[in-house]
Amino acid sequence: MGIDVQPWWYPLALGIIFLAIGIYIFERTNVKVNRILAVVMGLAGALFTVLGLFVAHSHFRPK
């Protein structure tokens, strides 16, 4: 019952959230500082997403 949240989900979820926030900020503002923040958030989100996929791949590898 419910979703079984395991530690390998955390970086993947965090990456997707950061990526979404970065894209949202980038699309909604024209201020240069906010654009830089949005790019940094997007890069962090992409990094966490790749890390999360790697961890998930390692978690589900046949033993």
DSSP 1-63: ------TTHHHHHHHHHHHHHHHHHHHH---HHHHHHHHHHHHHHHHHHHHHHHHHHHHHS--
Please determine, for residue 2, whether its predicted confidence score (pLDDT) is greater than 80: no
Please determine, for residue 3, whether its predicted confidence score (pLDDT) is greater than 80: no
Write down the pTM of the prediction: 0.68
Task: Please compute the mean of the pLDDT values over residues 23-45 and round it to a whole number.
Answer: 87
pLDDT of res. 4:
61
The average confidence (pLDDT) of the chain is 81
